[in-house]
A and B are shown apart, each in its own frame.
Chain A
Amino acid sequence: MDLLKWSKRPAVGVDAKKPQVNIVRGLIARATTPLLPDDYLHLVNPLWSARELRGRVIDVVRETEDTATVTIRTGWGFPDSYKPGQYVGIGLQVAGRWHWRSYSLTSIGDEVDKTIAITVKANPDGFLSAHLVEGVSPGTIIRLAAPKGDFHLPEPLPDGLLFITAGSGITPVMSMLRALRARDQQPDIVHVHSAPTRDDVIFLEEMEKMDGDLLSYDLQLQLTREKGKFNIDQLDSEVPDWRDRSCWACGPVAMLDTVEERYAEEGLREQLHIERFAIARTDVGGEGGTVTFTKSDKSVEIDGATTILEAGEDLGIQMPFGCRMGICQTCVVPLAAGYVRDLRSGDEHREGERIQTCISSVSGECTIDL
């Protein structure tokens, strides 16, 4: 037993679908130490590495004027199964830097062809999304983070479902719809989706087809240019039984806020599931904010001149540090969520990047796993 552990030890922290793979990996790593065999293999084929999950863009298909579906062949170690509605981290190198962002998966997981799909909307301020929609050529190697997120359907399924989506908020729900369609038993679904015009509706054809084919799926399109913004009070007239349904909502912050408020008022908050990725994607601007240290379960409000290192120390957290002047890299930690600003260069860093806490301050809010 101990021998088994010993064999795998160099590969701890590497995702492998079959544990045997990591035994082989660990044994070979005795010869390639301090590297893993993967580090040599990915020179031959970039997908042959599970140390960092990788993928290769297969194609990019336009859905609407400003959205595209990117299909990606995944490399070693990427999980075959994920839950429809979860999101995946994507890293793309632009001008020498890797940029990370999370996108909802719109594929439903297929053991055979090992591809995943994301559907991306090019926000004018979203640097990476614009790149993905406009500029990624097939063959590009990207990095991936394993799928995660709580925004998915439970098992067993509730009898009645309500989806409230708007704009690109459709993406996680689309993956749920596709997964549901692939099953035999169909719950009763009402789907309220908002978009400015028909041309802006991502997956329009697919949804309308489902609406026609399936009795159990009722699509209510809210074209906001004509009908105005979705109003929570509409529910009473258009989905009279909404209180009996479990609801999944995804879209702009303002919409989600009103939905959440209403559910809370009615004492139905339990029934509501919300995906708020929009918050993490708007530039919060300004300086200072809240720093949260997850492992210590503490958080504090600081101004833009206080460093994260100081903030953590003030809370009594054991923060790694050395020079405290930005040269030694002792204080580097991954940024689990949110934004920080590098006080020397003024650069903003975001989720997924590694930051030097001694010269960084928060920009809006951030979370550190310490």
Chain B
Amino acid sequence: MAITDIDQYAHLTDADVEALGAELDAIRRDIEESRGEADARYIRRAITVQRSLAAGGRVVLMFSNRKSAWVAGTAMLSLAKIIENMELGHNVMHGQWDWMNDPEIHSSSWEWDTTCPSVQWKHSHNFVHHKYTNVVGMDDDVGYGILRVTRDQPWEWWNVGNPIYNFTLGTFFEYGVALHHLETEKLRKKEKSYRQALKDLRIIGRKVGKQAAKDYLIFPALAGPNWKSTITANFTSNIVRNYWAYMVIFCGHFPDGAEKFTVEEYENEDQPRWYLRQMLGSANFRAGPLMRFMSGNLSHQIEHHLFPDLPSSRYEEIGVRVRELCDKYDLPYTTGSIVHQYFQSFRTITKLALPNALLKATTDDAPETASELRFAVREGVQDHFGVDPATGRRRGLRTALRELKKAPVRAAA
């Protein structure tokens, strides 16, 4: 079973958790106070770059009968779509730029360039996902209602298709995101009426229509004789964007070490423990400036989950401080190369196509799903934690995980 007692899992005392919460609050305050001209310039430039790429790509694709134009135009359009969805849409709708008080760069007015209507997304993502992050049964992003990503989700026969659903979801990610709001899980459990779902579907349909008309009707028509190559170019750029967004998001949530939580844990939670859940539930991947920009700074998923409404461009700087805190409290900071993180996510998804009975590890102690019980099943491990009185060094979760890895499996008596 996923984490129920987060203090115990994190190897922190009450006082530790309070202190950690206060330190994270201080980071938020510092960043909030230092937002200014440079940040505003950053987002305005990002918008200019994105719109120039979009306009440029569309113009070049007017000549898409020429191979070079097709390639260049498709590349530009793909980049534009990626930047719009990740660095602009996602972050603006989180309210990261609301402090600028600019009506055009504001969470309440931004509509993004993808099939998911922004109103619905603000609910399913900003609210459901970010408030209930990784609480199994409450956060629909844990598997999106179609994937089995943790052993806490009971296996059903149709889960054998897990790897296939995974690729389908990646390819048509924007539609997956759009349909997310239907909350199929709730429909299945009859917690949501079909009438409401139909209403949602109509709103989605309208947005899908507009997006599809633009890419597959209007621009091809404008391109005249080049309509066919324009359609293929637009289709390609949509798919490129879909895959990239899917990759980034999966790398942030499904690598080993991105923990899941039980409803019980959530119910006894206060602000510092909310922070802790975000830290333990997310994963980063290593990225240079360009990759950071292209991922909407979601290479810093941990920082994003801690402070979803602080400007994305500051996550790198926040990350330095979060890492220091992880060192101080001996907590893991889950990160790795993007390939490594994706590989782990993929492995989990493939593995979990099988029922638990066919799998080696348990729901308390698997690479991707753990609970505080993983420490209990191993004799003696628990005792050496806390601050070492001799050296003053903390021996917490990170050390525990490391030792677990090394220690041979020994069941508790």
Contacts and interface: CB of A to CB of B under 8 A. Distances in A.
Contacts of A30: 210, 213-214, 218
B106 A354 contact: yes
B222 interface: yes
A349 B188 CA distance: 44
A93 interface: yes
Interface string A67-101: 00000000000000000000000010101111110
Interface stretch (B28-36, B148-156, B349-357): B28-36
Given A52-B104, A332-B108, A356-B95, A96 B36 contact: yes
B232 interface: no
Give the secondary structure class of B's interface.
Answer: helix
B404 interface: no
A208 interface: no
Given A98-B100, A354-B98, A34 B112 contact: yes
Q: Which of B103, B112, B113, B122 has the most CB of A within 10 A?
A: B103
Contacts of B213: 30, 33
B52 interface: yes
Interface string B84-108: 0000000001110011111110111
A325 B126 CA distance: 11
B40 A34 contact: no
B131 interface: yes
A51 to B, nearest CB: 7
Given A326-B309, A330-B122, A356-B95, A43 B210 contact: no
Interface residues of B, number: 45
B39 A96 contact: yes
A100 B101 contact: yes
B111 A328 contact: no
Interface string B235-277: 0000000000000000000000000000000000000000000
Contacts of A64: none
B230 to A, nearest CB: 12
Given A328-B127, A328-B130, A95 B211 contact: no
Contacts of B93: 329
A323 B131 contact: yes
Given A33-B211, A354-B108, A329 B94 contact: yes
Nearest to B95: A329
A15 B41 CA distance: 27
A330 B39 CA distance: 23
B51 A323 contact: no
B123 A322 contact: yes
B38 interface: yes
A31 B214 contact: yes
Contacts of B308: 327
B48 interface: yes
Nearest to B219: A31
A211 interface: no
Interface string B117-151: 00000110011001100000000000000000000
B130 A323 contact: yes
A348 interface: no
A330 B131 CA distance: 12
Interface in B45-95: 48, 51-52, 55, 58, 93-95
A39 interface: yes
Nearest to A321: B127
Interface in A27-51: 30-35, 39-40, 43, 51
Contacts of B130: 323, 327-328
Given A323-B130, A354-B108, A97 B99 contact: yes
A96 B210 contact: no
A345 interface: yes
Interface string B281-312: 00000000000000000000000000011000
Interface in A149-181: none
B37 interface: yes
Contacts, number: 110
Contacts of B51: 35, 39-40, 43
A95 B126 contact: no
Q: Which of A322, A326, A329, A356 has the most CB of B within 10 A?
A: A329
User: Interface size class for chain A?
Assistant: 35 or more
Nearest to A10: B210
A353 interface: yes
A93 B29 CA distance: 22
Contacts of B218: 30-31
Contacts of A96: 35-41, 99-100
Contact of A329 (B107, B112, B131): B107
A332 B99 CA distance: 12
Contacts of A51: 104
Nearest to B210: A33
Contact of B126 (A40, A43, A322, A352): A322
Contacts of B113: 34-35
A329 B98 contact: yes
A98 B29 CA distance: 20
Contacts of B112: 34
A51 B222 CA distance: 25
Interface in B203-232: 210-211, 213-214, 218-219, 222
A87 to B, nearest CB: 19
B37 A95 contact: yes
A98 B101 contact: yes
Contacts of A40: 51, 55
A328 B101 contact: no
Nearest to B98: A354
A354 B101 contact: yes
Nearest to A352: B101
A322 B131 contact: yes
Contacts of A34: 111-113, 210
Interface in A343-370: 345, 352-354, 356
Contacts of B41: 96
Interface of A: 30-35, 39-40, 43, 51-52, 91, 93, 95-100, 143, 322-323, 325-330, 332-334, 345, 352-354, 356
Given A31-B214, A95-B36, 17 more contacts: A31-B58, A34-B113, A39-B104, A40-B55, A96-B38, A96-B100, A97-B101, A98-B102, A322-B126, A325-B131, A327-B309, A328-B122, A330-B122, A332-B106, A333-B108, A354-B101, A354-B106
Interface of B: 29, 32, 35-41, 48, 51-52, 55, 58, 93-95, 98-104, 106-108, 111-113, 122-123, 126-127, 130-131, 210-211, 213-214, 218-219, 222, 308-309
12 contacts: A33-B210, A40-B55, A93-B102, A98-B102, A322-B122, A325-B131, A327-B94, A328-B126, A330-B122, A330-B123, A332-B95, A332-B98
**Top 5 closest A-B pairs, CB basis?**
A322-B127, A96-B40, A328-B126, A34-B111, A329-B107
